[in-house]
Amino acid sequence: MIRIVILISGRGSNMASLLAAAASAELPGRIVGVLANRPDAAGLAAASACGVPSRVVDHRLFASRDQFDAALATAIDCLEPDLVVLAGFMRILGEAFVRRYEGRLLNVHPSLLPAFPGLHTHRRALAEGVRIHGCTVHFVTPDLDHGPIIVQAAVPVLDGDDEATLAARVLAQEHRVYPLAVRWFAEARLRLRDGRVVLDSPQDGAAALIVPNAA
């Protein structure tokens, strides 16, 4: 059973979906710690309520990103994880940090990458008039929001949608596909070939899961 550390900045709703999957044995891994870069992150209390150790590494206490990254890496390494999962972690991580955990650092992004990397994805999707939006789980690389894609879920953009309604529809799919991707990693079913993800024995879904009719 692999050891998993989760990084959060806020409420940690994706963290909660992973904790639930681990508790129900849907995810063959143990979440050994939750780290936040903000002391007011609501997800810290949720993690503690589930019996998962939590800790704050406050980015505001460090003079540079490199110093923060080094302190965060030290806190992570103390937990000896096999996998580090970003769940609404709102800090850009430096190249040295990303390379340290290369191949075992995952993120979920609220768009169908490579479309709409960065922030305000739902606002931008609405402004562009796209009819399909969604989320992407990917390996993290030094290129922001451009790592090898593990799984995606698509949702329709409905007439009358605003940022809030579209975000809620996408978030529901994040909660579905993130535990799935972590389970595939735990089962050693993910391989990288020429910069792309190959899923071994994809009996429970393709490596690019598209659900255009998701509500």
Looking at the annotation, which residues are catalytic?
109
| Cα 10 from Cα 44, distance rounded (Å) | 8
| Cα 54 from Cα 32, distance rounded (Å) | 9
Region of residue 46 (phi > 0: left; psi between -120 and 50: alpha; otherwise: beta) = alpha
> Is cis: bond before 156, omega within 30 of 0?
no
| Cα 158 from Cα 42, distance rounded (Å) | 31
How far, in Å, are 11, 27, 103, 116 from residue 109 at the CA level? Answer: 16, 20, 17, 9
Tokens 């169908």 belong to 112
How far, in Å, are 31, 78, 133, 173, 187 from residue 144 at the CA level? Answer: 25, 26, 19, 21, 26
